[in-house]
Structures are given as structure tokens and as C-alpha cells.
Amino acid sequence: MKPIFTTVSEDWKRKPYFDYYYYNIKTKYNINHHIDITDFKNEIKERGLKFFPSMLYVILKIINQSDEFRMGFNEKGKLGCWNYVNPVYTIFHEDDKTFSDMWSEYKPDFQGFYNEIINDIETYKEVREVKARGSQPVNFCPVSSIPWLSFESFSQETYCESTLLYPIIRMGKFYEKDAKVLLPISVFVNHAVADGYHTCKLINDIEEYGKAVSSWI
């Protein structure tokens, strides 16, 4: 796929909200939820697939259907929306408990995406640097996992100004409750580009797409 950046128009309906939350009170927020992945987990287990790259596909598929979560600035500082974003994720080094940041090219079909992630992890798994793969594209979405804890809430913030508009998504340890498999998920959002409605819809859509796994896998 070729990345295409479209700048916002002068009559962009969200401009007053963007200006207010980006320049005035600079609000960011987290929404945490436990989504039902029962059907999804059963399907990928039956097919012998790995959980993380499979769930990463579900998340990126929905992100790339959501204009609000593909907003960013181009190299000239212009605000706009990319036609798609690439996954940025982490590789955990079991022996010394460190991690490396990693990115892969986004593929819209599941098998292409899954193979891309598996091959890239295999290629870069021994790179012991913060950034395992260089030349990270500017159109990206960070997604990582904390598989050691089924957290109730997750929050993060930086102590410096940031132009990052993409969401930051964290997954926790899935667990069983009331005959369901639930996955903690946290979405960190810049309020300038997305309100609670958009973030709740994103999380709900991720859950529903996972439930429909048999129709696209």
C-alpha cells in the first residue's frame, strides 16, 4: 500500500474542538475496558495461530477504518489524515527482561498481515536496541501487550510536549470469567482528535470484529 496524506479542509467540522483541546487545555485521556474475545481466542487456538499478531490485526483493522485515529502532522507540520497506519509494537527479550520497539508494514488481509508480523519478529528478535528496526514511518499506531497482569486500569503520560495524535493501545492478560474469555484493553487518546464517543466506538468495534473472526480469518 502507498501512504497518502490528506490535509484537513478549511471547513473541517472538528477544527474548533481540535484547537481547544490541542492548544488551550491540551487534554489527553485513557479509556479502559475488558472485551469479550471468547470466539476469537477459540478460533485462533483451533487454527494453531499465535495470539498477539492475530489480535494486533484486529486492532489495526479497526484503527484503519477510523479517520479520527489516523490523524497526524506531515513533515511540513500540516494537520491531516493518513489513508492507513502501520503497527508499532514491542518484542520482549525473555532472558534479560528488556524489550525492543518494532514496526511492520500494514497489510489489509489477515494472512498477509499475520505473515508480515511473524517474519519481522523472527528477523529482528535478536536486535537488542530500543528501536529494533530503523526508518519507522510517520504513519503508525503503537500497540503493545502487558501479558503478566489482567489490569483494571492503565494510564500513561509524558512530561514533555508531544505532537502525537495517534492512539496508544495496551492489552493485558486475558482471563476467564462466567464462561467467557476477557481481554483488558486500554486506549490512550489525544482529545483534540477524538471524543469519548469515538474511543468507545473503537473499542466496541474491536470487540465485534473479533467476534466475527470466522468471517475473515
Q: Which amino acid is at 9?
A: S
Burial class (CB in 10 A: 0-12, 13-18, 19+), 125: middle
* Letter string b/e over residues 21-35, b meaning 16 or more CB atoms within 10 A of that residue's CB: bbeeeeebebbbbbb
Whether residue 191 lies in the annotated active site? yes
Give me the residue label for grid cell 488481509.
109
* Whether 52 contacts 44, CB under 8 Å: no
Contacts of 185 (CB under 8 A, 6+ apart): 32, 33, 34, 35, 169, 170, 171, 172, 203, 206
Distance from C-alpha of 82 to C-alpha of 149, rounded to nearest angstrom:
33
* Residues annotated as catalytic (active site), given as ranges: 191
